[in-house]
Amino acid sequence: MKITIIGTGYVGLVTGACLAELGNDVFCLDLDKQKIDILNGGGIPIHEPGLEEIVARNRSAGRLVFSTDIAASVAHGDVQFIAVGTPPDEDGSADLQYVLAAARNIGKHMQGFKVIVDKSTVPVGTAERVANAIDAELKQRGSNATYSVVSNPEFLKEGAAVEDFMRPDRIVIGCDDNSLGNLARAHMKKLYTPFNRNHERTYWMDVRSAEFTKYAANAMLATRISFMNELANLADRVGVDIEAVRHGIGSDPRIGHSFLYAGCGYGGSCFPKDVQALERTAQDYGQDLLILHAVEAVNAKQKQVLGAKIMARFGADLSGKHFAVWGLAFKPNTDDMRAASSRVLLGELLRAGATVSVYDPVAVPEAKRVFALDFAENPELLENIHYATTPMGALDQADALAIVTEWKAFRSPDFEQVKARLKHAVIFDGRNLFEPALMTDLGLEYHGIGRSVLTRS
């Protein structure tokens, strides 16, 4: 099928590459010329395991092209995916300016029937706004071209995006129940047939319910995390191991093991903004989502937990102190630094007078870009960030180690070397990677999240 993807970011690039891999003829549009130049030069602007090979293979097969040419992109695809960003607006609502600009561009150039697919995460009612934007453009040029707007939210996880896209748990598609909607449904059914070979994974529903489903999923996952984080903080006070508790409750099939890890807060491009946007939608309809207010508040506080533990141990004034930080990205296997917990920790440490040596296997270039923004008002603090090229290299002369991202490479370090390199053998583990009892046996002072278990000796 002939597919256009508008927006070649994490979602758009993965969607385009994977649809090309299945034999479709895919045109990826982005207005960011630098991004398109990188892709046309054979590079990849983001870190995503497995993506580079798929892009290269399908580019050379001629099934995947990258361009900034809007008119050509509209002419190409019978199905037009809108996969542009929907960042939070000042009031927390989803900023739809990019989605609506993409819709207007389609309206300006489309000739025959088009299926317009909202793949970006967008609030309930956005499909109508997309249709209105297209209608206005069609009216202006007296065109009677037809289209149908479909909602097809994306559930991929950064770091496992290709695998998630190729083997989705579910495909949610919202279609209008009318003749053009039925035509759109037939296109979507054909496009997604290869994903349903083993068993049917598609959930068909109305457009508004599909839009809502994406927010409901992210809000539920964020709620589980904040719930466990709040319990972990209590566990620290009462002398309980939250990891034991996690096993104890996760074995209940009504609860399950996934997404129950306590840690130093969630980040990324989705949970923080989607929780906020859902709260905002509720307010627009006269309802207060009390649970989500709490989820957000707990998460904001949780990002400060590592800093608080470090200051409780080393004092509020950290002048002359030096800390090693392992992990900058908001989660492993990505270089995405959006709302990453490391940004809060570094802000606290540097503003309290400390210096840091940081290590991340892939996120350093992106980290340098975002730290320049975070410290725009006191750029002299940037001098106090040293970028190590190995995890062990970050430890030399550090008073303690703080772990912020659970990269696999951090899971089994040579603890004797860790001890030997650090000035004080102290670990603040924001992702609960290690067993407290083992740390004690090794002579390491260990501060996890909710792991201050009290036992009778």
- Residue numbers of the site for ligand NAD (CB under 6 A)? 6-12, 29-32, 35, 83-86, 98, 101-102, 120-121, 154, 156, 158, 269-270
d(CA 262, CA 273) in angstroms, rounded, equals 20
Gap between the Cα atoms of 138 and 32, Å rounded: 26
270 annotated active-site: yes
Least distance to ligand NAD, CB of residue 410, Å: 22
Sequence-separated (6 or more) residues with CB below 8 Å from residue 218: 121, 270, 271, 274, 275, 278
Question: 84 vs 403, which CB is nearer to ligand NAD?
Answer: 84
Which residue's beta carbon is nearest to the bound ligand NAD? 9
Please report the sign of the dihedral spanned by the C-alpha atoms of residue 193, residue 176, residue 151, residue 79. positive
Q: Strands 445-447, 426-429: parallel, antiparallel or unpaired by DSSP? A: parallel
- Least CB distance to ligand NAD at residue 450 (A): 27
Nearest by Cα to 73 from 98, 100, 122, 109: 109
Q: Which is nearer to ligand NAD, 130 or 425 (CB)?
A: 130
Residue 100 — left, alpha, or beta (φ > 0 → left; ψ -120 to 50 → alpha)? alpha
Minimum CB–partner distance for residue 29 and ligand NAD (Å): 5
Using the minimum distance from each CB to ligand NAD, give the nearer residue, 12 or 361: 12
Instruction: Extract the tokens encoding 181.
Output: 């909607």
Q: How many CA atoms lie within 13 A of 134 on its CB side?
A: 28
The identity of residue 99, as a single letter, is: V
CB of 418 to ligand NAD, least distance (A): 32
Query: Please, which residue, 100 or 404, has the CB nearer to ligand NAD?
Result: 100
Beta strand pairing status for 171-174 and 202-205? Answer: parallel
CB of 57 to ligand NAD, least distance (A): 21
* 217 vs 249 by CB, closer to ligand NAD: 217
Find how far residue 308's CA is from the centre of its chain. 25
Minimum distance from residue 446 beta carbon to ligand NAD (Å) = 32
Q: Based on CB atoms, which residue is closest to ligand NAD, 154 or 176?
A: 154
Tokens describing residue 290: 């009390």
- CA dist 294 and 297 (Å) reads 5
**Which residues are catalytically annotated?**
270
